[in-house]
Chain A
Amino acid sequence: VSTELAPRGRGLNPPNARFGPWVPALAIRAAFVLLSVDLSTTVFSYGLWITLGIMLTAIAVGAPKLLAPWVLIVFYGGSLLWRAPSATDWRFFVLLAGLHLMHVLGSQMLVLPWRSRVQLRVAGAVLLRFAIIQVPCQAVSWAALTLFAPRGLVSISVPVVGVLGIVGLVALVLVLVGPMVRRSTSGAAVR
């Protein structure tokens, strides 16, 4: 038993825990709503679809465990079918980034309670990962649309695309298989 003196009781609540800069988890939901409403008005021009998108957004934010965010993603993705593919249509690229961001935000909404306080470093890491994935995806999409869109370059570039595809596949195999082989070898050495 320690011998320190205890002051007589006071009605005092302990202050919040400190862990650096943070944002409330509600900000994730707010960002999801803003993004979804923005995408809805961007990809749809008919009021009924916009209204449906907003209703689905409300469900997604209220009950992400019902997988409504991903239903919403499919809903917005389906809007492409009413529009001709084009490498010069900015809406496609906005949709590509927006749907990915909706998936990222939806995943966070799924696992983090709305009352949480989220360390800013967590949000930074999520956005950095989003950017790292999004940049090559945008580039590949632009290239693919440029080549394969109805008014693209596909008729004159098929052999080039084939060669590029094979080179890409080999590079992908090297990138993915190399670390796996190294990991299994190092694991065997440890055992």
Chain B
Amino acid sequence: VSDDDPGDAVEGDAARTHPAHWSLTIGFGAAVLVAMLCVAAGLASARVDVALLALPFLASAAWVWDRRARQDDGTRVEVLLARQEEEATIRYTVRVSPPRGTAVVQLRLAPLGQPPQELALSGHAAEVSGTVPMLHSGRLEIVSLQYRLIGADGSFVTVPAPPFRVENVVAPQVQQISSLPLPRQLPGVTGAHESARPGDGGDFRDIHPFTPGDRLRRIDWKRTARWAQSPGELYVRRTAALADASVLLVMDSRDDIGEFVGTWGKNPPAEQGTTSTDVAREAASSLAAAYIRSGDRVGFQDLGGDGRMLAPASGARQLSRLFSIITLSRPSEQAVVDRRRPPVVPPGVLIYLFSSFLDGEAARLATFWRAGGHRVIGVDVLPSPRFRSLTGDSQAAARIIAMEREDRLELLVASGVELLRWRDDAGSRAASLRALSRPAQGRPMQGRP
């Protein structure tokens, strides 16, 4: 597949028809020239055997000329995809239906962004199939292909058809979460979490002097008898109001870093292993599902640069929208590297910032939001780095980058941003979430989804 032109992208099954523009190759001209030379030499030297050497060349040229394909006859290419859930693979089938007169279909096939394979298929039944593993979530390039047609004996060829890619969308895994951290304030009027405000639905909050509007059945007669100083002085038992939380998931999809440090910068999908975007998608989807199920409002903001955002809302439809936007988020060439000001976030919202923190931009935004009074949890989505096939210099460079990142994270924590490392180990992840959900000074109680 051409390096210069990656071609159009098609999602799911694809079918295209291209006209074939045939042209003669120099092989055909060479064969005719050899035949003429043989005839001329035979006549000049009066040698019948020399002239007879031209016979197979002339016959071959006549054959391929007589059976040449017609100009502009269409070639149909179909790419069919089938998911094999048990093996976690996608099976692709490429079927090329060339016009009559085609001897060979030369196919250049690159599954999963790998270096292309050159295939020469029979023009009568050109069908190729294969499987690619579902290595990553999000939009996955299954196969990219380009082809040209070749006539008999390579005498005619067509102009290569435009390349195109076939993609498929793979949803991230959703992990179960049992403990949910909450924002510092719960401004909502209904929900599943106890807020600091007095109201209905929650547990006991305090004893308070009766005020107009209090219900009579809330009067605590024992406390009134003990505390009342004057006639008519009453005390009521107040309970906490229930409220929903507002959560904003901010995904830093400006980069996509694999676990194999040697692939950084090249990002070959088949060799980079788990990537930071894979982890971020999994973490964001899991948290979104858990918060929405507990009745909270969840919004989404992508720092990737093309302005993808979703205002906080609740409900199944919002969850579906969140899954979709999270799954399709990926690094963009339009990403803003240095923002003048951070994106505006709703007041009282809990901010999750999913980032690899390999540069200072995400940390800067987190610190800014924290200074504005929001509770900010930075989710570290960088997979554990692996240093396979790295030179000494590269290893040293990778360690320096890792140390800078650790310093950045320490400064982040010192500024009040909480940190959650999203790792494969479900136990340590659950423990971290429990610790973040623990009531602390100025923080409401733990939420239960």
* A pairs with B: yes
Inter-chain contact B272/A9, CB cutoff 8 Å: yes
How many Å lie between the Cα of A17 and that of B109 in the bound state? 8
The contact string, 1 if C-beta is below 8 Å from chain A, for chain B 15-57, is 0000000000111001101100110010001011110110111
Cβ distance B35 to chain A, nearest Cβ, rounded Å: 10
Inter-chain contact A122/B120, CB cutoff 8 Å: yes
Query: Provided the pairs A118-B120, A119-B120, A145-B52 are in contact, do residues A18 and B130 lie with their beta carbons within 8 angstroms?
Result: yes
Q: Which of A116-132 contact B (CB under 8 A)?
A: 116-119, 121-122, 125-126, 129
Inter-chain contact B278/A81, CB cutoff 8 Å: no
B352: CB under 8 A from chain A? no
Inter-chain contact B60/A141, CB cutoff 8 Å: no
Query: Provided the pairs A11-B273, A18-B128, A116-B120 are in contact, do residues A77 and B153 lie with their beta carbons within 8 angstroms?
Result: no
Cβ distance B71 to chain A, nearest Cβ, rounded Å: 13
How many Å lie between the Cα of A2 and that of B127 in the bound state? 27
Residue of B nearest to A9 (CB): B274
**Residue in contact with A70 in the complex, picked from B31, B56, B171, B174, CB distance below 8 Å:** B31
B135: CB under 8 A from chain A? yes
A134: CB under 8 A from chain B? yes
Inter-chain contact B56/A99, CB cutoff 8 Å: yes
For chain B, give the interface size range.
35 or more
For chain A, give the interface size range.
35 or more
How many Å lie between the Cα of A14 and that of B128 in the bound state? 14
- For residue B186, which residues in chain A have a CB less than 8 angstroms away from its CB? none
Main secondary structure of the interface of A (DSSP, over half): helix
Residue of B nearest to A154 (CB): B48
- For residue B396, which residues in chain A have a CB less than 8 angstroms away from its CB? none
Inter-chain contact B38/A85, CB cutoff 8 Å: no
How many Å lie between the Cα of A150 and that of B326 in the bound state? 87
Residues of B within 8 A of A (CB): 25-27, 30-31, 33-34, 37-38, 41, 45, 47-50, 52-53, 55-57, 59-60, 62-63, 66, 83, 85, 88, 94, 103-104, 106, 109, 111-112, 114, 117-122, 124-125, 127-137, 150, 152-155, 157, 168-174, 258-260, 270-275, 278, 282, 323-324, 327-328, 424
Interface CB pairs A-B, < 8 A, 8: A6-B170, A7-B135, A10-B273, A15-B131, A77-B41, A77-B53, A103-B57, A176-B62
Residues of A within 8 A of B (CB): 1-19, 25, 65, 67, 69-70, 73-74, 77-78, 80-81, 85, 92, 95-97, 99-100, 103-104, 106-108, 110-113, 115-119, 121-122, 125-126, 129, 133-134, 136-137, 140-141, 144-145, 148-149, 176, 179
Q: Which 7 A-B pairs have the closest CB atoms?
A: A9-B274, A107-B154, A100-B56, A85-B49, A121-B122, A70-B30, A116-B118
